[in-house]
Amino acid sequence: MKQIIAMGGGGFSMEPDNLLLDQYIINQSKASEPKVCFLPTASGDAENYIERFYKAFNSLSCEPSHLSLFKPSTRDLEGFLLEKDIIYVGGGNTKNMLALWREWGIDSILRQAWKSGIILAGLSAGSICWFEEGTTDSYGDGLETIKGLGLIEGSHSPHYDGEENRRPLYHSYIESGELKDGFAADDGAALHFIEGELSKAVSSRPHASAYRVEKKDGVIQEYKIPTNYLANPK
């Protein structure tokens, strides 16, 4: 089963004391203690970011590891990644991350991983990358469009409520045709795709939401997707 969990923001990166989204990702694996590999490429493999990953995931029922492209621990990147149950991509500069992935062949390996049933997840740059295209601040000031890996059809905007210009610019790019219709997610919200189709939306914050944004008859339509707050009792 092919699964992708795309977070608009949140997880240990933004909510170190609220690991509801990270626990949700782990819960989707059939393994009792899934092997979780962190890809911090977008941050330039920042050591502090890697340390925060281990601090968070060592507290969860999993076997954490990471892959640095600046200090690779193995030459067999394919073998290293394809033995994992979950691959978790961190935030940072989406453009630089994708360029490095293509240079090292990580883009092709991630596609193999997805097809083989390894869960792909991430936030910000680590959520944009799974879609055909999205919005990014990788170029410096302002938001621009960027092409992703195309595992999910359409476009994506993370941090939808976290930065005031995210929503209007996403709308304008779709309205102008520079971006396809797509999905947006607030900080603390995640879109869970199964076999390339949206299965559900979940959140670690009571008011965080996910959205479908489309252009119909020349007009932008935004629909709030029902979002399950993970702290609510079952």
Catalytic residue, chosen from 124, 138, 203, 209, is 124
Catalytic site residue 66? Answer: no
CA–CA distance, 185 with 202 (Å, rounded to integer): 10
- 158 closest CA partner among 149, 169, 150: 169
Q: What would the two tokens of residue 143 be?
A: 């938001």
Catalytic residue, chosen from 159, 171, 192, 203, is 159
Q: What would the two tokens of residue 1 be?
A: 């089963």
In 101-127, which positions are buried (b, 16+ CB within 10 angstroms) versus exposed (e)? beeeebbebbeebbeeebbbbbbbbbb
CA–CA distance, 213 with 211 (Å, rounded to integer): 6
- CB count within 10 Å of CB 45 equals 21
Q: What would the two tokens of residue 211 be?
A: 């959205």
Catalytic site residue 124? Answer: yes
Where do runs of H (alpha helix) occur along 150-233?
A: 166-176
**Is 153:122 a contact under the CB 8 Å cutoff?**
no
Active site residues: 124, 159
